[in-house]
Copies of this chain bind each other. A is one copy, B any other.
Amino acid sequence: MRGVLGQEVVDYVRELILTGTLRSGEKIDQQALGEALEVSRSPIREALVVLSREGLVELIPRRGASVARLSPEDIIDHYALFGVVAGRAAALAAENLDADGIAELRAVHARFLEVGETVSEGADPEDASLVPALLQQLNHDFHRIINLSAPGRTRWLLRHLEHSVPTSYYEFANGWNRAAVDHHAAILAAIADGNPEGARGAMESHLLASGEAAVAELVTRGFFEAGAGPEEEAV
């Protein structure tokens, strides 16, 4: 993961796992992966170490790597943790965010609402394919502004939690997400009011709901269907 190659491998394998192409428990062949990406095993191995620290891959000495067996409960739990940490950031934002930051937050939220309403009315069909990416970007900006109020270590952990597991990845894959906007509105209101506990609670609720949505999406992608892994239990 030092140079560029390892990072590419990380992204590639993460995509394979999160899209359900590689299934839960499935073995990951280093040599096959290396041939597929036309790189040697050195960057492959470093990438697998990264993914194992993220919790997406299980590494067993002398037995190699396999896709981690994540249950729906694990995903829910992960989002709950994410909520607890992001809630801390939101509480700090309610205490510390200055007027400029709040204005910026309002602007992003307004744009978010605008794009969402437009698409829900069925307009702009010609560039409809761009909408999910745009919504995801605006969603990301919204959270980033809040998280900037938090100390460095909290931001560090939030970055890791965000990548460790399917998070906002899918939230807007299927278009407009009404619930997310309401949640964001509540978070924004609490922060603007300087209400730390309100912001914390709103953020936690938001991520709990996101977790349930993510599980639903992952189910449709066959994420939880176990592949033929070495740990596979016979029935």
A interface residues (Cβ-Cβ under 8 A, vs B): 1-4, 42, 45-46, 48-50, 52-55, 59, 61-62, 71, 73-74, 77-78, 80-81, 84-85, 88, 151-154, 156-157, 160
Find A2's partner among B53, B61, B152, B154 (CB 8 Å cutoff). B61
Q: How far is the CA of A22 from the CA of B1 in the complex (A)?
A: 23
Is A74's CB under 8 angstroms from B4's CB? no
Q: Residues of B contacting A50 with CB < 8 Å?
A: 49, 53
Q: How far is the CA of A161 from the CA of B49 in the complex (A)?
A: 17
Q: Residues of B contacting A157 with CB < 8 Å?
A: 81
Q: Residues of B contacting A49 with CB < 8 Å?
A: 1-2, 46, 49-50, 53
Is B55's CB under 8 angstroms from A53's CB? no
In the assembled complex, the CB of A135 is this many whole angstroms from the nearest CB of chain B, namely 27
Q: Residues of B contacting A53 with CB < 8 Å?
A: 49-50, 53-54, 160
Find A77's partner among B3, B42, B153 (CB 8 Å cutoff). B153
Is B151's CB under 8 angstroms from A77's CB? yes
Is B85's CB under 8 angstroms from A151's CB? no
Q: How far is the CA of A209 from the CA of B143 in the complex (A)?
A: 29
In the assembled complex, the CB of A59 is this many whole angstroms from the nearest CB of chain B, namely 6
| Chain A to chain B: the 9 pairs with minimum beta-carbon distance, closest first | A77-B153, A77-B151, A53-B53, A78-B153, A74-B153, A49-B49, A1-B49, A46-B49, A3-B61
**8 extra interface residue pairs, beta carbon distance < 8 Å, beyond A42-B42, A45-B46, A53-B160:** A1-B52, A2-B45, A4-B61, A46-B46, A46-B49, A50-B53, A55-B153, A74-B152
Find A154's partner among B48, B77, B151, B153 (CB 8 Å cutoff). B77
The chain B residue sitting closest to A75, CB to CB, is: B153
15 A–B contact pairs at CB < 8 A? A2-B49, A2-B59, A3-B61, A46-B49, A49-B49, A49-B53, A53-B53, A55-B156, A71-B152, A73-B152, A74-B153, A81-B88, A84-B85, A84-B88, A85-B85
Is B73's CB under 8 angstroms from A151's CB? yes
Q: Residues of B contacting A2 with CB < 8 Å?
A: 45, 48-49, 59, 61-62
